Structure 1
């Protein structure tokens, strides 16, 4: 009789397992996919071990949880052990103590057939820990093997389809944005044509020309030069390391007014080649002559991709190429072309490294200013104005009080001596810290992204992974600066807020919100960006697309 009941329970578990696969309720392809590099994680803490047996020894000694004694006492088969592991993980994640004296809580609940943690390598060790148990029926063993194999195949399909879905969603979001842009341009074109003698048909917008023209005017250079965090950092690094620049050949990519070229010349550089494709180069030439540096600095007009310098290699490349959220305007692409074409094998990039960081924000003032503002305009509602707010990265100055946790997450590091252009389009995991203190209401309005910049004296110098650019000063002439809320003053880059369509409620007891962020050049204009954020919240996830145009 007991054997019949045992078989009946196995058949029930098998049916539930098959239903999970059929309904695609497995969270991802990694749920039941073994990975040789994945180490089993403790049920109660974040420590990892080389195998499942080491985990059980740790749990018994450090957490008073004797897995083998418990499974023998309850007579757990494979599915029972599977449910036990998922039950304990679920309870610990929710901040509750597992009630192990009430096995019916997990043995009779089919939800614990579903992995509680992605990539849970511990589940694969469950088949190998029954050395003292009775040998299982061959049919049951075969059935389990078939289930695991089916789960793997199903999970791979889920992973593939999820990837394709995200790709299609991104393409659709960008298509909608392109349509809006084209319609806007058509309206502008019709307006212009009404004031001219003849119509202009199919006038193609040259995004590159527009980009370079925007740097032809004084205003933008005045803003950048008055940004003392930016300009002082370049000056202090160059003047503080004259021995690095003395008698060197320097290339300044995107020289603008020529300020960085003149810093390098004053620091003792033998030759400086200043390159810019904007009309501002004419003023740079005048500035160089006015300061008597024409014998050292030679100015060239054109794209660095097209220009041919009179030397085969340079010792140092200096450039202020950074845009909003670091990669907006895609000037770094040109700097990397210059690096690969001209920089000597032991040459120095200035700056040497940049990092992009993310933090969670809770900012009632921002929401009122950007979102709730449209609820009442002189007594009228204008809700139609709101959707675009959630589509765009909001570049502004944000105070430290807006950030829920002072420990931002670095999701992208660009070592400028080695990073490649294809690597500037990327998808990176993020883990956004959230506090567990009582003064945090458990709600996020969005994410904040900004970048840190580091200047090092040599390409061999390694910036510590836990460095904070706002205080980075190792005393050897290297330095850094931040565009985030914790800097001594705001920069002209400011920071970018990515508001959620609706506030995000963080699960109680969670210490972070996990997900991914994608940086991708916008097809309609390669100097613009598309950002895609996917976050996992509890058992669900959501994806939101943002544009920088």
Structure 2
């Protein structure tokens, strides 16, 4: 646990009132009677184990060594905090159990609010069974320490800080109440307006939906919209349905599992960071592969389920879960050996989760550390699929005898997420227009313009020279080493060089469909290639929407002989 602030505690008197001491004593005796504790008189040296650090799993010969380690490595001074708060025997027991409980839950202990543990008798019950730190607690501090002028001065300073904090807290509480009242009024107004808008567009389809439901980040809660797009994004991952879809994607989940389990020598005794851990499945793979410690981070409510899953599978001593954005939280380590994350969105970069993964890489990954996956490639192919066009476009020509042509323009504005067979592709090989090498790429590289070239097959009965649009998809590569070079002509669906590395594709040539599917860019008007033209050439641009950086604008410019085409597509 990194950098715990022990310098400004809230005011607590050095002497607990006698009624509070009696209450703690009674609670303590009740726990003994209920077999929750051994009697304090039974706490002997024969029962002691080696004391364990409050924040990590290092053990020591005695409690003094633990406290010296906590000051040096975790910025936590137990003795100083105990003196400043004037803790008696029960107070020290509560402090130790409180800190252990918060670290176990992945939370930052709020040591500037001692009332959280001093006023709660549950912290008399050990968080860690046979906790040797509790065995060594003395009821009274030595007279020598109490008479130390430096100690007395420090207490006076802490008391003054505590008084200042108390006054500051009163002011902030009053301000918070006023702001909460204003915010509640604002929410009522906004809710009224947005509920009306939601009712008016509830039948619309962004084109990024799926047979299972809305796209991964487009779910809306009925009667409520979110204060900002990040809230909306993280809220969309709070429910079981999207995680069920992802876990049932065997291409996705099997690939991560197979790479981790087939390369246990890489994971053994390593420290692993799982960014956007979801249900915790990748973290548990890493733990089972022999990782010494796994830090699982997610800013969605799903983290509560991940914690439960970790405990249910007996992996809570290896996996530590954190709720928060990776950009904001602080892990209790400076560096990790491996970062594993399933960050890919539709058309690869929709949702902009890779930005967060790269922040984690720059902040925590050791210089020779490994990114899993290590490389991802974006590919494009030509589309000719009459059945798809009939289903998506011509469908609106006759709806129960009525024409609805007004519905068609939106189709050409959005990236349509769909599965395509190889027969929908009008040439033999796709074109790789962007390679993301995860060890080196920067967030600035995630907005780009790349050239594309697509070979046009000879006109025949199977191809009449007509293009309906383009298809974009991505290939993932997992390598044992950050220095391993993947051949330019590699195909992810067959990439398994025999050294433990592997790949998978989300495109038409995969053995199974994935939940990402492919992204179709339909032309406003079918492109008819003239005889003798053997290439489509142009460029594709990926750009984040300024109003919501998690959404994408994909620009396309193409030339085929004397014909030119320019369109923009949205992923929202």
Q: Distance in 2 between matches of 1:362 and 1:190?
A: 37
Q: Distance in 1 between matches of 2:563 and 2:458?
A: 21
Q: Distance in 2 between matches of 1:223 and 1:189?
A: 26
Partner of 2:296: 274
Q: Distance in 1 between matches of 2:468 and 2:195?
A: 35
Give 1:325 deviation, angstroms: 0.5
Q: Distance in 2 between matches of 1:318 and 1:220?
A: 19
- On the 8 A contact 2:226/2:232 being kept in 1, the answer is no
Match of 2:246 among 211, 221, 224: 224
How many pairs align?
357
Partner of 2:273: 251
Partner of 2:340: 318
Partner of 2:385: 363
Whether 1:474 and 2:483 are equivalent positions in the alignment is: no
| Corresponding residue SS for 1:544 | strand
CA offsets, 1:303-335, max 9 Å, x none?
000010000000000000000000000000000
- On the 8 A contact 2:533/2:561 being kept in 1, the answer is no
Give 1:406 deviation, angstroms: 2.3
CA offsets, 1:119-145, max 9 Å, x none?
xxxxxxxxxxxxxxxxxxxxxxxxxxx
Whether 1:460 and 2:504 are equivalent positions in the alignment is: no
- On the 8 A contact 2:385/2:424 being kept in 1, the answer is yes
Match of 2:566 among 535, 539, 543: 543
Partner of 2:553: 530
Give 1:189 deviation, angstroms: 5.9
Partner of 2:77: none
| Corresponding residue SS for 2:550 | strand
Partner of 2:464: 441
Give 1:510 deviation, angstroms: 2.4
Whether 1:353 and 2:362 are equivalent positions in the alignment is: no
| Corresponding residue SS for 1:526 | coil
Q: Distance in 1 between matches of 2:198 and 2:348?
A: 32
| Corresponding residue SS for 1:386 | helix
Match of 2:361 among 339, 345, 348: 339
Whether 1:263 and 2:272 are equivalent positions in the alignment is: no
Q: Which runs of 4+ in 1 moved over 4 A?
A: 184-187, 189-192
Of 372-381 and 229-238, more deviation after overlay is shown by 372-381
Partner of 2:448: 426
Whether 1:399 and 2:421 are equivalent positions in the alignment is: yes
Q: Distance in 2 between matches of 1:390 and 1:547?
A: 9
Give 1:437 deviation, angstroms: 4.4
Give 1:434 deviation, angstroms: 1.7
CA offsets, 1:493-536, max 9 Å, x none?
00011100000011322222000100001112110100010001
Partner of 1:209: 231
Partner of 2:33: none
- On the 8 A contact 1:455/1:479 being kept in 2, the answer is yes
Partner of 1:149: none
CA offsets, 1:15-68, max 9 Å, x none?
xxxxxxxxxxxxxxxxxxxxxxxxxxxxxxxxxxxxxxxxxxxxxxxxxxxxxx
Partner of 1:376: 398
- What TM-score comes out, normalization by structure 1 length? 0.64
- On the 8 A contact 2:533/2:560 being kept in 1, the answer is no
Q: Distance in 1 between matches of 2:491 and 2:501?
A: 13
Partner of 2:537: 514
Whether 1:416 and 2:438 are equivalent positions in the alignment is: yes
Please give the root-mean-square deviation of Cα atoms over the aligned residues, in Å: 1.7
Whether 1:390 and 2:412 are equivalent positions in the alignment is: yes
Q: Distance in 2 between matches of 1:187 and 1:535?
A: 41
Partner of 1:492: 515
Cα–Cα, structure 1 residues 366 and 293, in superposed 2: closer, same or farther, change >3 Å?
same
CA offsets, 1:458-507, max 9 Å, x none?
00001100000000000000000000010000000000111000000113
- On the 8 A contact 1:360/1:433 being kept in 2, the answer is no
Give 1:251 deviation, angstroms: 0.2
Q: Distance in 1 between matches of 2:227 and 2:560?
A: 42
| Corresponding residue SS for 1:473 | coil
Q: Distance in 1 between matches of 2:235 and 2:196?
A: 23
| Corresponding residue SS for 2:531 | coil
Partner of 2:24: none
Partner of 2:474: 451
- On the 8 A contact 2:554/2:568 being kept in 1, the answer is yes
Q: Distance in 1 between matches of 2:240 and 2:195?
A: 30
Q: Distance in 2 between matches of 1:291 and 1:189?
A: 41
Give structure 1 stretches of 5+ with no counterpart. Answer: 1-183, 193-202
Give 1:541 deviation, angstroms: 2.0
Q: Distance in 1 between matches of 2:371 and 2:450?
A: 24
- On the 8 A contact 2:459/2:531 being kept in 1, the answer is no
